[in-house]
């Protein structure tokens, strides 16, 4: 007599040992598909089934679909699933295992069913559940009478299914973590590439900015030098005019001297007088040439054309050169006071610092409308040299003080200022790890203080 068994029977000690070994084996496998294959193969081998199906619920459709099939004959997959579908559906609906023995003698099994048609003699199907929720089923069948499934097999497969469900959930979790890690790695790589591209863009932008700053620096320097040319031209014109005039006098005097010395009745005293005049003219020319030489040396010292490297220099020499080159702005109306302290030589780009001094001195002279005083003081503190340039000019409006170092800002009007002098001076001091401070009172005057480190941390190695 055959029967349909759904009630669990206690498993034997040997089966417990087998389940322990099975548990160790399947829980060590984290590859999802390999785990499913292993579960199916172990179930078939241990229970000596001929065919087996492992089905799992799809997350999207909530339908049970075949994940692994082990078929010992040539029947098509859809036929096998069709044969087992009613049994699997019953297990899915009731969440209880099913054991069919001695088919077709089993009560309630029609002779026209596919089980009879395909000569299936015994069937066992158990649910795979996790946290009281069905996640799949294991289905086994056989056509061999000597391998009929027994109640003990049902108990064993239930225990096996419980272990398999835990292993499947673990593998799913591991698979999700792996997927997240892969996505994270992909996102990190993508973000790294984006940051790399951004970094390259920033480097390019920085290089372009440096080039633009150098262009501004050159433009302002040329504008400043262009303004100085007018003063220098005046300084050069005076001795040059004297030399031109004296040269003409020399030519005339030589002509007179030749005539007097060549005349039989010429008076030697007249010749001596002419020679004295020529000697005086020569002395004047010598003084004029010395003046021209001094102007050239002053300009060279200011520009430091042969000293563009970072060198040890006396910045007070640079101040003197700058004052001499801007003397045409202060002559006959501005009293220049120099109060130089005992300061050390410092390593710097001398031509750049001279440009800062020139910008500040020119601004001071232009701030004094008529007569006034320009005072330059130098002093040293523990770590810095300080240069104060003070004027008694019109001062700076308080609302403008926060903007005076902005590129393009000027209060001098069109054609008078470029608006770059103070901005570039500020940048030069930053590159020297120094600073520029300003104090001003409207109608009282302005003091700019240039602070230069004695030991520059930005010095090139």
Provide the number of structural domains found in the chain: 2
Q: Is residue 248 part of a domain?
A: no
pTM reported for the whole predicted model: 0.46
Is residue 280 situated within a structural domain? no
Query: Is 320 inside any structural domain?
Result: yes
Residue 250 resides in a domain:
no
Average pLDDT, the chain: 78
Is residue 263 domain-resident? no
Asked whether residue 334 is domain-assigned, the answer is yes
The percent of residues in the chain predicted with pLDDT above 90, rounded, is 16
* CATH for 87: 3.30.450.40
Last residue of a domain, one of 147, 164, 181: 181
Query: Which one of 161, 181, 201 terminates a domain?
Result: 181
Tell me which residue range forms the domain holding 444. Answer: 306-461
Question: Of 181, 208, 240, which marks where a domain is finished?
Answer: 181
Q: 3-18: per-residue pLDDT in tens? A: 344 444 466 666 677 7
- Asked if residue 310 and residue 177 are part of one domain, the reply reads no
CATH of the domain at 380: 3.30.565.10
Kindly state whether residue 342 falls inside one of the protein's structural domains.
Answer: yes
Contacts of 446 (CB under 8 A, 6+ apart): 364, 367, 390, 391, 393, 395, 396, 438, 439, 440
Q: Does the residue 331 lie in any domain?
A: yes
Distance CA 134, CA 4 (A): 22
Tell me how far CA of residue 180 lies from CA of 23, 60, 188, 194, 211, in angstroms.
Answer: 27, 19, 12, 20, 45
Of 61-75, 113-127, 327-341, 410-424, highest mean pLDDT? 327-341
- pLDDT tens string 284-312: 777 767 777 766 766 666 655 444 567 88
């Amino acid at each position: 007599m055959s029967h349909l068994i759904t009630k669990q029977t206690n498993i034997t000690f040997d089966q417990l040992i087998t389940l322990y070994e099975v548990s160790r084996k399947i829980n060590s496998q984290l590859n999802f598909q390999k785990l499913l294959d292993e579960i199916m193969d172990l179930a078939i081998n241990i229970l000596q089934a001929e065919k087996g199906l492992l089905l799992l619920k799809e997350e999207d459709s909530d339908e049970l679909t075949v994940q692994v099939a082990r078929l010992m004959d040539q029947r098509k997959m859809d036929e096998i699933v069709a044969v087992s579908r009613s049994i699997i559906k019953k297990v899915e609906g009731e969440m209880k295992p099913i054991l069919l023995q001695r088919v077709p003698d089993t009560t309630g099994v029609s002779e026209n069913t596919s089980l009879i048609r395909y000569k299936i003699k015994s069937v066992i199907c158990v649910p795979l559940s996790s946290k009281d929720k069905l996640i799949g089923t294991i289905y086994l069948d056989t056509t061999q009478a000597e391998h009929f499934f027994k109640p003990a097999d049902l108990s064993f497969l239930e225990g096996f299914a419980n272990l398999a469900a835990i292993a499947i959930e673990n593998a799913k979790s591991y698979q999700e973590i792996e997927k997240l890690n892969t996505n994270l790695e992909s996102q990190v790589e993508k973000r790294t590439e984006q940051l790399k591209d951004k970094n390259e863009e920033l480097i390019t932008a920085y290089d372009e900015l440096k080039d633009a700053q150098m262009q501004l620096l050159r433009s302002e320097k040329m504008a400043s030098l262009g303004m100085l040319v007018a003063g220098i031209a005046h300084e050069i014109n005076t001795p040059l005019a004297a030399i031109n005039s004296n040269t003409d006098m020399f030519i005339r005097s030589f002509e007179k001297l030749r005539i007097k010395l060549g005349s039989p009745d010429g008076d030697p005293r007249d010749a001596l007088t002419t020679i004295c005049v020529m000697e005086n003219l020569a002395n004047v020319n010598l003084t004029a040439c010395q003046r021209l030489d001094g102007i050239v040396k002053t300009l060279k010292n200011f520009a430091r054309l042969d000293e563009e490297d970072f060198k040890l220099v006396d910045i007070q020499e640079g101040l003197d050169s700058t004052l001499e080159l801007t003397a045409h702005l202060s002559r006959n109306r501005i009293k220049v006071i120099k109060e130089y302290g005992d300061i050390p030589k410092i390593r710097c780009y001398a031509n750049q610092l001279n440009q800062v001094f020139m910008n500040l001195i020119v601004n001071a002279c232009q701030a004094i409308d008529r007569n006034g005083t320009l005072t330059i003081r130098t002093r040293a503190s523990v770590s810095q040299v300080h240069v104060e340039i003070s004027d008694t000019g019109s001062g700076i409006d308080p609302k403008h003080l926060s903007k005076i170092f902005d590129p393009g800002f000027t209060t001098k009007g069109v054609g008078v200022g470029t608006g770059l002098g103070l901005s570039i001076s500020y940048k030069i001091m930053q590159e020297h790890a120094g600073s520029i401070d300003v104090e001003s009172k409207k109608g009282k005057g302005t003091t700019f203080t240039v602070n230069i480190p004695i030991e520059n941390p930005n010095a090139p190695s």
